[in-house]
Amino acid sequence: MSSCDSCNDSSCSVKQPNAANDEQAQIQRNLAIRLCGIKNKLIVMSGKGGVGKSTTAVNLAYALVEKGFKVGLLDIDLHGPSVPTMCGLSGEHPQMDEEGILPMVVSGLKLMSIGFLLQSTNQATIMRGPMKHGAIMQLLADVNWGELDYLLIDCPPGTGDEPLSAVQLLGKNAAAVVVTTPQDVALVDVEKSLSFCNELKLPVVGLIENMSGFICPHCNKVSDIFKSGGGDKLAEKTGVAMLAKVPLDPRVVAAGDDGKPHILSCPDSKCSEALRQAADAVVAFDGV
């Protein structure tokens, strides 16, 4: 029995509705509604930074768009969002209607990022722990994604708050793609990402080995700048599929800086071919 059960004062704080709880319940309802319209959720992860994860996420999303799917991409790298720049939307802000925040749309891909919601491109995002979870929940719940075949989630590197929140919030029909490079220092951290997925029972579609050989812009010959074969060895060791090996091409970097995703600006390149191969594997995956 509550200590206020016998209180006849209608203004008693115990008897007042909890506004915070009501708001949280509404967010949860909105989240459930949004996720009902999304068939497949794909979390793009990496063990460490600098492996080209965001570049891979953007181009993989466009490879799926090319196949005729309805695709969205959510950038949850709260402290260093890259998607606005890579898609030519730096400094842009989304519109709203009665259904929520409208995602930005570029060449058929729906996009949302914390970067679109900041006042300026150089504004720092200062948050931790529960605040991050709440921000990611609201990005999922408040954005009117509509009907999607795939929603890709571009996570920051590592196995911290953001990927954990993504897994917890997305629920069923979610899986992961893990991006690496051939060096041992990257592969060690990829194993941690795979362990993370295993602990949370998140199916893994497979690995994408980025920067897998350098394509000479003059002769188109591929040379191994880093070690080769590291991704294959890890795939064999862990039983996780190798989806594609994306070579190192200077045009990929230039495309990201220019806001023109590589698969759109250089559709016939070996990198684009590899990314389409990865998209084929995603479509064929039935482990969720």
Q: Is 48 annotated as a binding residue?
A: yes
Q: Are 149 and 65 in contact (CB under 8 A)?
A: no
72 near 111, Cβ under 8 Å?
yes
Is 50 assigned to a binding site?
yes
pLDDT digits (tens, 9 = 90+) for 227-247: 667 788 889 899 999 999 999
Total domains in the fold of the chain: 1
Using CA atoms, how far residue 43 sits from 54, 121, 162, 281, in Å, is: 11, 25, 11, 15
| 47 marked ligand binding residue | yes
| 83 annotated among ligand-binding-site residues | no
Mean pLDDT, contiguous 10-residue spans, the chain (288 residues): 49 51 84 93 92 95 98 94 94 90 96 88 83 92 95 94 94 93 82 94 96 78 73 89 92 92 95 97 86
How many residues are given for the chain?
A: 288
3-state secondary structure (DSSP) of residue 217: coil
CATH of the domain at 271: 3.40.50.300
Q: Is pTM beyond 0.85 here? A: yes
Task: Give residue 133's domain range.
Answer: 21-284
Residue 2, domain member (yes or no): no
**DSSP element (H, E) containing 248:** strand 242-248
9 assigned to some structural domain: no
**Could you tell me if residue 48 is inside a domain?**
yes
Q: Is residue 65 part of a domain?
A: yes
> Alpha-carbon distance 178 to 152, whole Å?
12
User: Which helix (H) or strand (E) is 173 found in, with range?
Assistant: none
H or E element in which residue 22 lies: helix 19-36
Asked, for residue 108, whether it belongs to a domain, the answer is yes
- Confidence at residue 213, expressed as pLDDT on a 0 to 100 scale: 79
pLDDT of residue 118: 83
68 annotated among ligand-binding-site residues? no
177-217 pLDDT tens trace: 999 988 877 788 899 999 999 999 999 999 999 988 787 77
Residue 53 annotated in ligand binding: yes
pLDDT at position 267 is: 96
> What pLDDT, on a 0 to 100 scale, did the predictor assign at position 157?
92
pLDDT value for 13: 44
Q: Would 14 be classed as within a structural domain?
A: no
Joined together, the tokens standing for residue 221 give 């010959």
Quick check: is 172 in a domain?
yes
Please enumerate in sequence order all residues whose Cβ is within 8 A of that of 221, keeping only pairs 6 or more positions apart, or say none.
215
Contact 251, 265 (CB under 8 A): yes
* Angle made by CA atoms 218, 107, 44, in degrees to the nearest 5: 75
